């Protein structure tokens, strides 16, 4: 025993020296800490415990876990990564990259491992919750995290990223409907509004700013939430413009223009989304402002703005907003994006060649056929005929392109037209609540 006592003495001396150094190291970390890092004395007990126990060594532990997570990702072991990422966020809760990766892994990698749409939805909600409830709470000044959350709403919940996308939209619609019936903030009892703001972590001031800028929004649509978090991201960036946050702002505002209106809700199914023509000017204004904040020619803002003008002219024409459509068509012509002599020629060609079609072609087709039937039932035969004609041309153009790509199981245009007529009749008989475009 006497022979090993010196070794114990050396170990104790080394430990004492290391412990004495944790104080200056901690002070140094505090000096380097970003001003927005939260006071860890007020975080959950589990995080505070880990922080106290590891002190200045928690960064090293997080690095080791990151190394292990990278190895697991190469092996495709995403479920195991979720646990590791949870540990890393407890060790380093003020690193936005950790939260971004953790949420992305759940919403995109793990969710698709399950065949059942409801199981997938649970994992998407886990990713959303991590960003919405935890990541932004620890990092309120990180534009990246707001942009990540905005993208999740825009792309994963409201977009067309996998075969179960219709289910996600239906699940989300119902989730909001149960808390905020009708999806509108105006005229809602205070208790309902407070509950909605709390559940979805919506700030009343930013929500009012959205209403002042862009009119009343339908919060049952993920596009509205995507726009909200994008706006929060630009505000978090402050005087230092963040290109990711700014891009999400114009992308989500553009999505609200193209599909930010519930043409017809369908209980148990995804709602039919349609055009909000009054937002065209807001999108163009946002693009022009962002181009001034980020003047790098590599962003090619001129081409983006020109293409938006052409696409806006096309959809506005489809819905019969001819005067507004002519305005955007002329802008597209001046920019060289439209070469046709007339708006009608451009619209017909774009429809038949499917050059204006995006991943939302199904929403756009159904919204046009539904709107055609609704207008005819209301006595607007001319407006109904325009929507019906352009809906048919547009869908048949998309269908022809998809057939060439090997997708030959799509229904006919007549079948979709009849479905639009059926839905319009239901709405007229009081079984729906469609909205005017």
- pLDDT tens digit string along 196-211? 999 999 999 999 999 9
Q: 248-257, 287-296, 349-358: lowest mean pLDDT where?
A: 349-358
**Burial of 192 per CB tally in 10 Å (0-12, 13-18, 19+):** middle
Q: 68-77, 130-139, 395-404: lowest mean pLDDT where?
A: 68-77
Q: What are phi and psi of 273, to 5 degrees?
A: -105, 145
Write down the H helix ranges in 188-242. 190-199, 204-214, 222-237
- Residue 34 scores a pLDDT above 60: no
| Per-residue confidence (pLDDT) for residue 95, from 0 to 100 | 84
Q: Give the tokens for residue 267.
A: 């209980």
Q: 30-39, 241-250, 257-266, 402-411: lowest mean pLDDT where?
A: 30-39
| Per-residue confidence (pLDDT) for residue 33, from 0 to 100 | 40
Q: What is the mean pLDDT of the chain?
A: 84
Q: Give the tokens for residue 265.
A: 């809700």
pLDDT category at 31 given cuts 50, 70, 90 is: very low
| Per-residue confidence (pLDDT) for residue 293, from 0 to 100 | 93
- Residue 239 scores a pLDDT above 90: no
Higher-pLDDT residue of 150 and 17 is 150
If one counts every other C-beta atom within 10 angstroms of the C-beta of residue 368, the result is 30
| Per-residue confidence (pLDDT) for residue 98, from 0 to 100 | 84
pLDDT category at 394 given cuts 50, 70, 90 is: very high
| Per-residue confidence (pLDDT) for residue 342, from 0 to 100 | 96
> What is the distance, to the nearest Å, from the Cα of residue 163 to the centroid of all Cα atoms in its chain?
17
Inter-residue contact 414 to 395 (CB < 8 Å):
no
* DSSP output for 124-138: HHHHHHIIIIIIHHH
Of the spans 6-10, 132-136, 326-330, which averages the highest pLDDT?
Answer: 326-330
pLDDT category at 47 given cuts 50, 70, 90 is: very low
pLDDT, average across residues 124-136:
93
50 Cβ partners below 8 Å, 6+ apart? Answer: 58, 90, 91
DSSP summary character for residue 259: H
pLDDT category at 150 given cuts 50, 70, 90 is: very high
Q: 264 - beta bridge partners?
A: 272
Domain ranges, ordered by start, for the chain: 44-115, 357-437
Higher-pLDDT residue of 14 and 376 is 376
| Per-residue confidence (pLDDT) for residue 358, from 0 to 100 | 79
The three-state secondary structure class of 276 is coil
pLDDT category at 165 given cuts 50, 70, 90 is: very high
Inter-residue contact 211 to 227 (CB < 8 Å):
no
d(C-alpha 151, C-alpha 228), whole Å = 11
Closest of 284, 321, 322 to residue 304, by C-alpha:
284
pLDDT, average across residues 337-353:
95
d(C-alpha 372, C-alpha 424), whole Å = 9
> What is the distance, to the nearest Å, from the Cα of residue 6 to the centroid of all Cα atoms in its chain?
63
Element (H, E) at 264: strand 261-264
Q: Give the tokens for residue 37.
A: 């890092």
Q: 5-9, 11-15, 98-102, 166-170: lowest mean pLDDT where?
A: 11-15
| Per-residue confidence (pLDDT) for residue 409, from 0 to 100 | 85
pLDDT category at 11 given cuts 50, 70, 90 is: very low
Dihedral sign for Cα 434, 177, 279, 157, please: negative
| Per-residue confidence (pLDDT) for residue 71, from 0 to 100 | 64
Place of tokens 């959809």: 315
- Residue 278 scores a pLDDT above 60: yes
| Per-residue confidence (pLDDT) for residue 24, from 0 to 100 | 45
pLDDT, average across residues 152-164:
93
């Amino acid at each position: 025993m006497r022979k090993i006592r010196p070794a114990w003495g050396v170990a104790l001396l080394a430990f004492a020296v290391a412990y004495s150094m944790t104080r200056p190291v901690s002070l140094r970390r505090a000096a380097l800490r970003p001003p927005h890092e939260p006071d860890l004395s007020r975080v959950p007990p589990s995080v505070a415990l880990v922080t106290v126990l590891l002190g200045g060594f928690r960064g090293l532990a997080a690095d080791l876990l990151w190394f292990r997570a990278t190895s697991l990702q190469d092996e495709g072991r995403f479920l195991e990564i979720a646990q590791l990422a949870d540990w890393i966020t407890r060790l380093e809760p003020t690193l936005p990259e950790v939260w971004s990766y953790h949420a992305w892994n759940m919403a995109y990698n793990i969710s698709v491992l399950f065949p059942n749409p409801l199981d997938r939805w649970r994992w998407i909600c886990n990713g959303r919750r991590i960003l919405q409830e935890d990541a932004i709470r620890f990092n309120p000044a990180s534009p990246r995290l707001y942009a990540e959350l905005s993208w999740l709403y825009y792309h994963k919940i409201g977009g067309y990223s996998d075969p179960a996308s219709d289910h996600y939209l239906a699940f989300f619609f119902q989730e909001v409907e149960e808390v905020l019936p009708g999806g509108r903030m105006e005229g809602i009892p205070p208790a309902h509004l407070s509950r909605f703001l709390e559940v979805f972590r919506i700030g009343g001031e930013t929500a009012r700013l959205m209403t002042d800028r862009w009119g009343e929004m339908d919060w049952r649509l993920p596009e509205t939430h995507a726009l909200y978090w994008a706006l929060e991201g630009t505000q978090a960036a402050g005087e230092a413009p963040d290109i990711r946050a700014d891009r999400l702002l114009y992308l989500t505002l553009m999505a609200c223009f193209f599909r930010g209106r519930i043409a017809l809700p369908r209980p148990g199914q995804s709602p039919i989304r349609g055009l909000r023509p009054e937002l065209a000017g807001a999108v163009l204004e946002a693009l022009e402002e962002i181009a001034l904040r980020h003047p790098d020619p590599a962003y090619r803002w001129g081409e983006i703005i020109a293409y938006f003008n052409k696409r806006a002219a096309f959809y506005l024409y489809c819905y019969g907003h001819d005067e507004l459509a002519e305005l955007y068509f002329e802008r597209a012509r001046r920019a060289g994006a439209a070469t046709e002599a007339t708006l009608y020629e451009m619209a017909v060609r774009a429809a038949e060649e499917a050059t204006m079609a995006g991943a939302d072609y199904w929403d756009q087709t159904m919204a046009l056929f539904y709107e055609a039937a609704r207008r005819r039932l209301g006595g607007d035969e001319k407006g109904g005929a325009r929507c019906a004609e352009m809906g048919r041309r547009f869908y048949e153009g998309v269908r022809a392109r998809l057939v060439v790509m090997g997708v030959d199981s799509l229904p006919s245009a007549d079948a979709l037209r009849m479905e639009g007529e059926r839905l319009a009749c239901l709405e007229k008989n009081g079984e729906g609540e469609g909205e005017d475009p």
